[in-house]
Amino acid sequence: MNERLLKYLIYIAGIICFYAFLSVRILPMFNAVLVENRSPEYFEFTKYGEQYYSNYIKHFREILPYPQDKYRLSDRNPELEDADLIAFGDSFFDFSRQKTVAERLHDSLGIAVHAVRAWYPLDYLHQMNYPRGDKKIIIFQVIERNLHDRFIEPHDLNWEGNDYMDLNQLSLPSRIKHWIFDVKSEELYSILLSESYLTRGLYSMIATAKFDLFSYMAPRTPVYSLENRFDVPMLFYDITVNEMPTSFYFDHNDELIKTYCDNLEDLSKQLLDRYNLEMIFLPVPNKYTLYYDVVKPGDSYNNFLPRFYHEMDQRKINYVNIYDRFKNADTLLYYGTDSHWNRKAVDITVEELLKKIRK
């Protein structure tokens, strides 16, 4: 009896695991067993803030507003050549939990605003064969944690950051090899374990127990706060609190800031010379920069952004300072368990951008 039961159990386990093996390679099979479907922009459709999904501890569940239809993907987003203004930025500019900056600018100014989600404007414009035409404005938004990466080297037309792999261009053996060995299976199995109908509840229960018993937190979100003046659980990404150039604690010395500004100034000049585009630069503060005192009241900010602003002032680089208004705001401007900003932050940003554009 025991032997037969064990045999069936092994066969069932084998079938389940074989399904898992295939599903990390075939997206529809993968999504079929997940509570929340995965797609390239998955985190903009989740129920809770993205940082909750790094640890699954139930104390950090914060229900986010239901996502809006994306302006960038809608018919209202004009073709690049037809646009009066280009809103170029990362996930902050494209975050769908509220109306995006591009949509708000479009509504406020009544002009054609082309929204782009990418990192390197010269590369994008080059790839899109954008011709030099009438003078237009391009708003270039970058989150503080990425400033080092974006500006430690000069921008050019062939930035390797946008080097996407097209599987269809690979030979058949290479495709098979890719399908079998190059899949990020460990990461995807981990998603299956934490997100599938079969295991999500148990996974969250164990993660919560580990946190309650041993304060064990996932390495991705090592710094957190459960009780604070905002009455919202808060999580912070490791890259904003470690020793890397992305972090609050990294020493961005004056030499580095000068290098960033050299490259930023060069980018601004190239945009103008090549494409007749006037750049408005928009650095967005990290969540930790604004709320570090919630978790580490004894720490102090090395004033990276104010020093960056100062250097840009010296060089007359056109930028928008939202840090000062964000810092003095008395309400929370970012979601507690998501690294992105909320509607109030977008309100302030749009106000400041409108002031700058109308000048």
Q: CB within 8 A of 30, min separation 6: which ones?
A: 23, 24, 38, 188, 192
Burial bucket for residue 33 (CB in 10 Å: 0-12, 13-18, 19+): middle
Decide if residue 190 touches other proteins (CB under 8 A).
yes
Distance in angstroms between the alpha carbons of the first and the last residue of the chain:
83
Decide if residue 134 touches other proteins (CB under 8 A).
no
Among 129, 168, 215, 300, which residue sits at the site for other proteins (rule: CB under 8 A)?
215
Q: Which stretch binds other proteins (CB under 8 A): 118-126, 187-195, 223-231, 315-323?
A: 187-195
Q: Are 95 and 341 in contact (CB under 8 A)?
A: yes
Measured from the CB atom, the residue of 190 and 276 that comes closer to other proteins is: 190
Which residue is it, tokens 């290098």? 259
Give the separation between CA 32 and CA 19, rounded to whole angstroms. 11
Among 198, 209, 226, 329, which residue sits at the site for other proteins (rule: CB under 8 A)?
209
> Within 13 Å of residue 146, how many CA atoms lie on the same side as its CB?
16
Decide if residue 198 touches other proteins (CB under 8 A).
no
Q: Report CA-CA distances (Å) from 124 to 158, 159, 260, 270.
A: 9, 10, 20, 13
Measured from the CB atom, the residue of 164 and 214 that comes closer to other proteins is: 214
Give the separation between CA 63 and CA 60, rounded to whole angstroms. 10
**Contact positions with other proteins (CB under 8 A) in 266-305:** none
Taking the complex as a whole, the smallest distance from the CB of residue 337 to other proteins amounts, in Å, to 21
Among 40, 219, 297, 298, which residue sits at the site for other proteins (rule: CB under 8 A)?
219
Give the separation between CA 339 and CA 286, rounded to whole angstroms. 8
Among 169, 181, 330, 331, which residue sits at the site for other proteins (rule: CB under 8 A)?
181
Give the separation between CA 257 and CA 315, rounded to whole angstroms. 12
Q: Which stretch binds other proteins (CB under 8 A): 27-35, 82-90, 179-187, 317-325?
A: 179-187
Measured from the CB atom, the residue of 17 and 157 that comes closer to other proteins is: 17
Decide if residue 17 touches other proteins (CB under 8 A).
yes
Decide if residue 15 touches other proteins (CB under 8 A).
yes
Q: Which stretch binds other proteins (CB under 8 A): 3-11, 70-78, 283-291, 322-330?
A: 3-11
Among 132, 177, 343, 355, which residue sits at the site for other proteins (rule: CB under 8 A)?
177
Among 11, 73, 152, 273, which residue sits at the site for other proteins (rule: CB under 8 A)?
11
Q: Report CA-CA distances (Å) from 279 to 103, 152, 296.
A: 19, 19, 36
Instruction: Return the structure tokens found at 274.
Output: 């090549």
**Could you list the residues that contact other proteins (CB under 8 A)?**
2-3, 6-7, 10-11, 13-18, 20-21, 177, 180-181, 185-186, 189-190, 193, 206, 209-210, 213-216, 219
